[in-house]
Amino acid sequence: MIFSTTLDLTPGQTVARSVYGKDNHLLMKRGYELTLSSIALLTELTISGIYLEEEGTDDICPTDVVEPESRIKCQNALERAFAGLQKGASNGKRVMVNPAQIEAATREMVGSLLDAQKPVLAMLDLRSENNALFQHSVGCSVLASLLGKEMKLADDMIRQLAMGMVFHDFGQTLQPASLYAKKGTLTDAERKTVQEHPRLGFRKAMEDDLLSPLAAYVVLRHHERVDGQGYPDGIKGDDFKRIGRIAALVEVYDTIISLRPYAPQQMPDYAVKQVLCETGTAFDKEAGVALVKCVAVYPTGCAVRLNTGESGLVVSTEHGKTTRPLVRLFYNEDNSRRTPEDVQLDRSDGRCIILSGMSLEKVRRAKVSLPKISIADELDQLAA
């Protein structure tokens, strides 16, 4: 299958992976043939793109370390709980959240991940603007658990980290929604208010006995930085526990790959580079190294261009070798179509990826100059 941005879809193409709508209900089943009105619906729902069937790509099957159904179950439970909180906040009423359903859904997600051997997050995370907060919360929870496993945290600690990440932004639901939808720069007063959301969430979690102290710590510390430049308290050194450092790094990575009102959505290679460039200063080095080991810098199905000018799609990625995936080449150096060939990128081969994107058409036609050093080499150096 191939990935296509919604903008590039045409009627008659066949859906290769089921698509879920804004209420997380099934919108288009695998095998569905796109029409003009269904493409318009995807645009309306701000779904960034979908997977399509394409000749010669049947064996390119992105697999998630966590079943999409488990993620959706968790997102739904979270949405229900947060809706109650927001309603209560706007009416000035105190609302209690029952975390039982969210906890059960989180345990299910983390359970499949803990059972997996050398898991890699290898799918493009498809998101829409409509339930961005819930997708971000659940995405962070999955990723933090993965890093926790890679960093050999105890299973119980990983579960608490996962719960903390699911709830990390729920302090936002106790504040005016307009603050988080604003497209322009925040005023100083607005920024100060926003920077209080970790503390608000932490207090609510402790007062209502919603989370364990460790999970609540994750909520409080998810915007702190190793060098003390974070918020709400600007802590650093030994005061900043490992579990909080994972939360802070994951939060930034997931924000960069998300649809945001104030910045464009980026590909994982860009996000990993941004985070790794700041390990040792803003972010924890060990968490950064874990990130590049178990998050596919080039997810399965994404389009890539090599330093040779050839272009194709990522077929698979191995744990620990995420900067050099197996690639199926569809186009030659001169952009002419070729017989597809699978190439395992390798340091000794000399070929490396210089551009990635969601659409093969765009990536193969893009004007790019050869960088002095590829992102793959740069990431390997930063993670060394």
Of 169 and 269, the one with the shorter C-beta distance to Fe ion is 169
What is the distance in angstroms between the CA of the first residue and the CA of the last residue of the chain? 34
169 near Fe ion (CB under 5 A): yes
Please report how close the Cβ of residue 171 comes to Fe ion at its closest, in angstroms: 8
- The crossing angle, in degrees rounded to 10, of helices 68-91 and 132-150 is 130
Residue 316 phi/psi, 5-degree rounding, is: -160, 165
Q: How many residues bind to Fe ion according to rule CB under 5 A?
A: 1
Q: Mark the segment that binds Fe ion (CB under 5 A) among 7-15, 169-177, 187-195, 333-341.
A: 169-177
Q: Is 283 helix (H, G, I), strand (E, B) or coil?
A: strand
Q: Mark the segment that binds Fe ion (CB under 5 A) among 59-67, 163-171, 291-299, 311-319.
A: 163-171
Of 20 and 167, the one with the shorter C-beta distance to Fe ion is 167
Residues 232-271 that bind Fe ion (CB under 5 A): none
CB 192 within 8 A of CB 140: no
Q: Mark the segment that binds Fe ion (CB under 5 A) among 1-9, 168-176, 262-270, 336-344.
A: 168-176
CB 334 within 8 A of CB 308: no
Q: Mark the segment that binds Fe ion (CB under 5 A) among 72-80, 135-143, 167-175, 267-275.
A: 167-175
Please report how close the Cβ of residue 234 comes to Fe ion at its closest, in angstroms: 15
Of 103 and 169, the one with the shorter C-beta distance to Fe ion is 169
Residue nearest to Fe ion (CB): 169
Give, for 44, the enclosing helix (H) or strand (E).
Answer: helix 36-44
CB 113 within 8 A of CB 149: yes
Q: How far apart are CA 239 and CA 241, in angstroms?
A: 6
Of 79 and 380, the one with the shorter C-beta distance to Fe ion is 79
CA–chain centroid gap for 300, Å, is: 14
Contacting residues toward Fe ion, per CB under 5 A: 169
